[in-house]
A and B are shown apart, each in its own frame.
Chain A
Amino acid sequence: MPISAFLTDASLCIGCKACEVACKEWNELPDDGFSWSGHSYDNTRALGASTWRHVLFLEQKQSMGSQLAGINGPFRWQFLSDVCKHCANAGCLEACPTGSIVRTEVGSVFVQPDICNGCGYCVVSCPFGVIDKLPEDGRAFKCTFCYDRQKAGLIPACAKACPTESIQFGDLEVLRQRGKKRVQDLQERGYSDARIYDPQDTSVGGIHAFSVILGEPEAYNLPPAPEVPTAYLKSAWTSAFISAAIIFAIVCAAFAL
C-alpha cells in the first residue's frame, strides 16, 4: 500500500472546525468540557486524548500577503488545523513498552487500544505534545489517521469534511510535491513568509502530516527543531554506565579499607 499523508494548508483554512466535528463524530470521542478560552475563536486549545484535530486561531499584527493595512494597523487572522504528525521516527512508538503503538501498512502510527495499559511513557516521548492519557479511560489516545476508514477505502473523516481542501489526503510523495508547489505559488503571490512545516533534517526524519504555514512555526506552537527522544539514549546510557562503574568502585573501596 502507498504511504498516506495529510497536507494541511493554513492559507486555505477558514477556521470552520468541520474537521474537529467530523473527527469527534466518526471516532465517537467525548467532549473536552464547555469553557471559553479567550484565545480568539479557539476554545479547543490543544490536541489531546479526546481531541485529534485542533483548529488554531492566530491573531497577528502583520499583513496577510499584500493586503492593505486598516486604521488599526496591519492585522491577519490565520487558521490551521493541527493533527498528530505520524512521524517517520515516532517518539511514542519507540517509547511504548507494550508494543501497543505500531506502524501500520499505510505508514501511520497507530495505538492498539486492546494492548495499551496506560503507562504514560508515550505522553512524555512525543516531541509535538500530541498523545495524552484519557483520565476517565486510563489508556493513551491520539489520531488513528482513520485507519478503519483507510482500510475500507475511505479517506479520513477530517479530510472528507474539509470544505476548502485545506486538509488534503493522499500519497506522501505526491503531497510533498504539492506542498512545495503551493509554497512557491504563495510566495509568488506576495505571501513571502509561506513555508512548509516538515522537520526532515532533525532526528524525527520528516512527518506524514505536514502543513503549509505563514510565518514562524512557533506561532502555531509547532517546535522548530523537534527531536525523537531516542536520540538521547546513547548519551544517557553512557553516563549511566560510567556512573555505575564509579559507584561500584566506591563500594569496593569502602569495604576494602
Chain B
Amino acid sequence: MKTAAKPKMTEERLEEIRKAASEPTKEALATQESTRKPSAQGEQSYYGLPALKAPVWTWEVPLYFFLGGIAGLSACVAFVAQSFRSDPGLIRVSLWAALLGAAMCPVLLIADLGRPTRFLNMLRVFKLRSAMSLGAWILAAFSGCAFVALFCFELLLRGFTNPLLTSLLWLGLTSAAATGLLLASYTAVLVGATAIPVWSENRKLLPTHFLTSGLGCSAGILELAGFLIPATQILGFAASGIETVIEIFLEVRKRPVDAPLHHGRSGTTLRIAGLLEGPAALLLRVFWGSVPAGRYAAASCFLIGALLSRYAWIWAGRGSASDPNALFHLQRKA
C-alpha cells in the first residue's frame, strides 16, 4: 500500500522542492548582497567569505592587555614618585598594583592557551621579531623587578636600613619602570604587527592609546585608594585629555579599513569606551575635580572605558578579518 502511495507523494514533494528552489533563500540573498560589493578594481571576493582567519583569543587576552597596562604604568609612577620623594603610602600602593597585576597576567595568558600545560614553551626561545616572544620575556622580567622593588620597599618601611637594600630598591624600581613601559606598550605592537587590517593600519596609534590608558588607570587606582593629591589629578587630566584627542581623531578620520571601529558591536563599544575615557572623565575633572566624589567618578569612568576599549579593539579585529573586500581595497590602493 505504501509503495502505491509513494509516487504521488514524491511528485508533490518534488513540486514543493521546485517551488522552494525558484525562490532565493534569505541566506542566498544575503550572500549575493555581500558578494555584489565590488573592491577597488571592480573584482569580487570569493562569495564574500573571509580571506583572513579571525583572532582566536578569548576574554582573557583583552583583560590581560588592561591589567598589563595598569601594572606597567603603576611601576613607572612608583619610580617617579620615589625619585621626587613623594608619599611612601602612594609608592606602596603603586608597587602593590604593579605586582598584583603582574601576578594575574600570566594566569590569564596561560588560561587562553590551547595547551596550558605547555606555557613554559613561551620561554623556550627569544625572538626579537615576534612581539609575543618578546612580551613573554618582558612580563617575566617585569614580575621579577616589581617583586624586588616591593620587597625592598616593604623592608625599608619597616625600619630596616641598609645601603644594599636601598640600592637594590632603586635597581628594582628603575628596571620595573623600564620594563613596565614595555609591558604596557608591547601589547599594542603585538596586535599592530599582524595581518588584520584594522590593527595593522592603526599600529602607530595603538601604542599611544594603550600607554595613555594605562597611565590614566594607574592614576585612577591611586585616586580610588584615597590619594587625591595634585599629581594624580594632573595625570588624570593628561590621560583623559590625550584620550579625548584620540577619540576625536578616530571619529573624524573615516577610512574604509576602520569600519569595525565605527559599526557593529565593536564600534559601539569603542565609542562608549572612548567617551568614558576621554570627554566624560575630562569633564568630570573640569567641573567636579575639586570634590572627592568628582575625582572618584572620573577615575572610575576612565577605568571602565579603558577596559571596554581593549575588548572593542579585539572585537574590531574579528570584524576586520571577516571583511575580504576591505582587505583587497587596502592592498589595491597601496
Q: Knowing A221-B49, A251-B77, A257-B230 touch, does A232 contact B203 (C-beta < 8 A)?
A: yes
Are B328 and A224 in contact (CB-based, < 8 A)? Answer: yes
Are A236 and B327 in contact (CB-based, < 8 A)? Answer: no
- With an 8 A cutoff between CB atoms, is A182 at the interface? no
| B118-169, CB < 8 A from A | 118-119, 121-122, 124-125, 127, 129-133, 135-136
Stretch with Cβ within 8 A of B (4 or more), from A63-71, A128-136, A146-154, A169-177: A128-136
- With an 8 A cutoff between CB atoms, is B47 at the interface? yes
Indicate which residue in B113, B230, B324 contacts A138 across the interface (CB closer than 8 Å): B113
Are A127 and B80 in contact (CB-based, < 8 A)? Answer: no
Residues of A contacting B290 in the complex (Cβ-Cβ under 8 angstroms): none
Residues of A contacting B25 in the complex (Cβ-Cβ under 8 angstroms): 38
Are A100 and B121 in contact (CB-based, < 8 A)? Answer: yes
- 15 A-B pairs besides A118-B115, A236-B207 with CB distance below 8 A are A39-B49, A95-B130, A97-B122, A97-B133, A116-B114, A117-B121, A121-B132, A125-B194, A139-B115, A226-B195, A229-B195, A235-B204, A250-B215, A254-B80, A255-B231
- With an 8 A cutoff between CB atoms, is A233 at the interface? yes
Q: Measured between alpha carbons, how far is A98 from B215 in the docked complex, in Å?
A: 31
A132-164 to B contact mask, C-beta < 8 Å, 1/0:
110001111000000000000000000000000
Interface size (B, Cβ < 8 Å)?
Answer: 87
Supply 20 A–B pairs (Cβ within 8 Å), ascending by A: A46-B50, A94-B127, A94-B129, A97-B136, A98-B125, A116-B118, A118-B118, A120-B56, A123-B55, A123-B56, A124-B195, A124-B199, A132-B53, A219-B44, A221-B324, A222-B51, A232-B203, A236-B189, A254-B234, A255-B83
Q: Measured between alpha carbons, how far is A257 from B232 in the docked complex, in Å?
A: 11
Indicate which residue in B28, B44, B124, B332 contacts A99 across the interface (CB closer than 8 Å): B124
Are A216 and B41 in contact (CB-based, < 8 A)? Answer: yes
Are A230 and B193 in contact (CB-based, < 8 A)? Answer: yes
| A204-257, CB < 8 A from B | 215-216, 218-227, 229-230, 232-233, 235-240, 243-244, 247-248, 250-257
Residues of A contacting B132 in the complex (Cβ-Cβ under 8 angstroms): 95, 97, 119, 121
Report the minimum CB–CB distance from B73 to chain A (whole Å). 7
Report the minimum CB–CB distance from A131 to chain B (whole Å). 7
Residues of B contacting A39 in the complex (Cβ-Cβ under 8 angstroms): 31, 46-47, 49
> B residues within 8 Å of A by Cβ?
25, 27-28, 31, 39, 41, 43-47, 49-57, 73, 76-77, 80-81, 83-84, 86, 112-116, 118-119, 121-122, 124-125, 127, 129-133, 135-136, 177, 181-182, 184-186, 188-196, 199-200, 203-208, 211-212, 215, 230-232, 234-235, 238, 317, 321, 324, 327-328, 331-332, 334
Q: Measured between alpha carbons, how far is A252 from B203 in the docked complex, in Å?
A: 26
Are B86 and A255 in contact (CB-based, < 8 A)? Answer: yes
Indicate which residue in A56, A216, A243, A252 contacts B208 across the interface (CB closer than 8 Å): A243
> A residues within 8 Å of B by Cβ?
37-39, 42, 45-46, 48, 56, 58, 91, 94-100, 115-121, 123-133, 137-140, 215-216, 218-227, 229-230, 232-233, 235-240, 243-244, 247-248, 250-257
Are B43 and A216 in contact (CB-based, < 8 A)? Answer: yes
Report the 10 A-B pairs with minimum CB-CB distance, sorted nearest first.
A118-B114, A138-B114, A117-B118, A97-B133, A221-B46, A240-B207, A99-B125, A129-B52, A97-B132, A225-B331
Residues of B contacting A45 in the complex (Cβ-Cβ under 8 angstroms): 49
Report the minimum CB–CB distance from A111 to chain B (whole Å). 12
Q: Measured between alpha carbons, how far is A236 from B203 in the docked complex, in Å?
A: 5
Q: Measured between alpha carbons, how far is A118 from B184 in the docked complex, in Å?
A: 23
Are B122 and A117 in contact (CB-based, < 8 A)? Answer: yes
Are A125 and B195 in contact (CB-based, < 8 A)? Answer: yes
Are A247 and B215 in contact (CB-based, < 8 A)? Answer: yes
Q: Measured between alpha carbons, how far is A237 from B212 in the docked complex, in Å?
A: 16
Residues of A contacting B185 in the complex (Cβ-Cβ under 8 angstroms): 240, 243-244
Report the minimum CB–CB distance from B1 to chain A (whole Å). 34
Are A129 and B125 in contact (CB-based, < 8 A)? Answer: no
Are B189 and A256 in contact (CB-based, < 8 A)? Answer: no
